[in-house]
Amino acid sequence: MRVTILSIGDELLSGKTVNTNANYISLVLDGLGCEIVKQVTVADRKNDILDCLTDLFKMPIDLILCTGGLGPTSDDITLDVIFSFFNSKKLFDDKYWIKLMNKFSNIGIPISKSHKKQAVVPDNGSIIPNSIGTARGFQFEKNKIVFIAMPGVPSEMQAMMNDTIIPMVKSKIVKSKYVATIRTTGAAETILYDLINKNNDDDNINIGYYPSVYGVDIRLVGKDLNKLNNIKENIANTVSDYFYTFSDHNLEEIVVNKLIKHQFTIATAESCTGGLIGNRITEVPGSSNVYKGSIVAYSNSVKINNLGIDKNNLEKYGAVSREIAGEMARQVRKTFNSKIGVSTTGIAGPGGGTKEKPIGLVYVALSSKEDLVIKKYNFHSNRNKNKIRSSQAVLKIIQDYCENYE
């Protein structure tokens, strides 16, 4: 199935809003075996939308997914333009209007007359239900191309995708390719490329690399499922030091679930990450069963007075050192009486580095009664990215520790 994604909105073109909808739709449909042939973004202007639709319906494609402009306000013109393009008359849906009025009444908010535009239905198309919002989607067909319009609100668009669009695509698509993802962290794209190319020479499997601040996702595409799975396992073993999952789950989700599985409690001592690790862990449902607490020991005085770090060691080795990272992890474990203690200390940047301890130097550590793991990293000068990469490094150490018990 060949698919084009159409995004409508001035805010997308101005850069004030990142187009996460197109990204989400592409990832989902690509994983189903669709071919995404084009992404296009146009302004909230009638002629621009009409011109774009005219061009798209001349293309050899099967499906157009459109997001944006279905709200109740005057600047949401997409509904009117789409109905005009498909020569569709607006029919008023009295039942849906009553449903909307009751919905607003139940939450104590008066409904605006502008919401009436969300209670229309096309006379030559169909409605896509919205399970969490008020703006329903619309489906039309022209030149054997299916067109579906969805709201621009990400949560509402995703609900429509899950409830209606994905099942529809699955029912129509002929599976011509299979996709697998290998998620890694802690290694650059070039390192992974060199490792994998030494151990894989199958030209029938296409391998793509998708780097981000969190790591590199390695994506495999092929027509033979058995061969794809064999290559996937082989690559995961090849890059095992950096591999953390085949799934879509983030590293913090995986870590929390492993901690829960083994009933391991954990506490964090953070310096350069400033509480980011604790924040990521507590974003995961169920983390309260395993996460005991944190000490954000950003200053040396807090390291000494609250965390119990030896002042002499601080003076001898410096706050950013292997010795202090290990002591921080050990002390926070003892302070909170947890199974595991982890720590970060480093120079996040953009200033503060020296020749001996450059910007981006980070030590992370994990302490348990049986073990002490300390790792050194040299990241770059971007402060925010260094914090994220440091938190990833700690989460990966926790995952590796838990997997020793599996």
Three-state SS for 328?
helix
Contact 59, 50 (CB under 8 A): no
Contacts by residues 201-207 (CB-CB < 8 Å, ≥ 24 positions apart): 202/227, 202/231, 205/231, 207/235
Domains of the chain: 2-172 (3.40.980.10), 178-245 (3.30.70.2860), 251-403 (3.90.950.20)
Residue 298 CA to residue 137 CA, distance in Å, equals: 49
pTM of the predicted model, to two decimals? 0.76
CB atoms within 10 A of CB 337: 9
Main-chain dihedrals φ then ψ at residue 364, nearest 5 degrees = -125, 150
76-133, pLDDT tens digit by residue? 788 899 999 999 999 998 888 888 888 888 888 888 777 788 888 999 999 999 998 8
Pairing, β 372-378 against β 361-367: antiparallel
CB atoms within 10 A of CB 129: 10
pLDDT value at residue 148? 97
148-193, pLDDT tens digit by residue? 999 999 999 999 999 999 999 988 876 667 889 999 999 999 999 9
Q: Is the pLDDT of residue 357 over 70?
A: yes
Residue 18 CA to residue 123 CA, distance in Å, equals: 34
CB atoms within 10 A of CB 51: 12
pLDDT value at residue 221? 87
pLDDT value at residue 199? 62
pLDDT value at residue 343? 98
Confidence of residue 337 (pLDDT cuts 50, 70, 90): very high
Query: Per the structure block, which two tokens stand in for 255?
Result: 């870590």
Pairing, β 90-92 against β 120-122: antiparallel
